[in-house]
Amino acid sequence: MKTVLKVDHVSISYKIGDFRDIGLKEWTMRHLKKNYHVETFLAVNDVTFELKEGDLLGIVGANGAGKSTLLKALSGVMEPRSGVIERYGSVAALLELGSGFDGDLTVRENAFLRGAMLGYTKEFMENTYSQIMDFSELAPFENRPFKQLSTGMQSRLAFAIASLVQPEILILDEVLSVGDGAFQEKSEKKMREIIQNGAATIFVSHSLDQIREMCNVVLWLDRGRQIAYGDTREVCDRYEAYLAGKGIA
């Protein structure tokens, strides 16, 4: 099977400290006087794995483990501090589904806005708009201001737009939990279709049952460190034992 993603000793860090909530003038004065305090927070620490065509990688770990930060780097939103990420094919990332919309625009206007942000042409959006409305079940609301939709409805629109294309690499961050039970089932079916068509997929979920059912390989992160990577059953069993207080991270 063809390798579509290589992650080689990747680390990602943030600078945190006194500059967060101050203006430009104050920042300049503190910088000139060297009167400031900055720390480096290592969100992802020396992670290595490889993804092949058709693989479905599940990433597990508690809140703050570095999962979402790693996904942002894999999708190209962030650059690692060290290490190398090599992608061999197009990437579609479904991260933070509710972001990037304008609450005062209509649902229809936001659909085109979101599509433009994802790089879709106006012609493509016009040809697929009815498909988006059908999948998201939002046709009765298309002329309403977006801010009048519930959070679940907003996420459904984002999911419907982002899942239009067939990428080589698909990155999902808790997106199969959007909407009600019926829509979750429909979104999971849609993801399975994309995967069956050959996409290599990276999937973050707090549901171990979902990870066990869908993934053939699992990465376990803890406070940015790579604890385990390999067979789904083995890694999930270790992680479950750790959560129950019977194992060591």
Residues 157 and 195 in one domain: no
Decide if 113 is inside a domain: yes
Residues 118 and 180 in one domain: no
Decide if 96 is inside a domain: no
Provide mean pLDDT across the span 113-125.
88
Q: Residue 170 is part of a domain; what is its CATH number?
A: 3.40.50.300
C-alpha 116/C-alpha 123 separation (Å) is 11
Decide if 59 is inside a domain: yes
Residues 144 and 237 in one domain: no
pLDDT beyond 70 at 65: yes
pLDDT band, residue 148 (cuts 50/70/90): very high
**Nearest Cα to 218, choosing from 231, 206, 207?**
231
Residues 46 and 63 in one domain: yes
Per residue in 175-231, pLDDT (tens digit) is 656 556 778 788 878 877 887 887 899 989 888 998 998 899 999 999 999 999 999
Residues 158 and 174 in one domain: no
Residues 210 and 171 in one domain: yes
CA distances from 197 to 53, 104, 162, 217 (A): 10, 37, 16, 18
Residues 238 and 187 in one domain: yes
Residues 59 and 176 in one domain: yes
CA atoms within 13 A on the CB side of 13: 13
pLDDT of the residue at 5? 95
Tell me which residue has tokens 């501090």: 81
pLDDT of the residue at 139? 96
The answer to whether the beta carbons of residues 105 and 145 sit under 8 Å apart is yes
Residues 74 and 188 in one domain: yes
Average pLDDT value for the chain: 86
C-alpha 211/C-alpha 177 separation (Å) is 13
Question: Three-state SS for 29?
Answer: helix
Which of 147, 164, 181 terminates a domain? The answer is: 164
- Number of domains making up the chain: 2
Decide if 85 is inside a domain: yes
Phi, psi for residue 169 in degrees, rounded to 5? -130, 125
* DSSP3 helix / strand / coil % (the chain, rounded to 5): 40, 30, 30
Decide if 248 is inside a domain: no
C-alpha 102/C-alpha 36 separation (Å) is 36
Decide if 98 is inside a domain: no
Decide if 249 is inside a domain: no
Residues 62 and 170 in one domain: yes
The bridge status of strand 217-222 relative to strand 56-60 is parallel
For residue 109, what are the domain limits? 103-164
Residues 24 and 65 in one domain: yes
Residues 76 and 142 in one domain: no
pLDDT of the residue at 176? 59
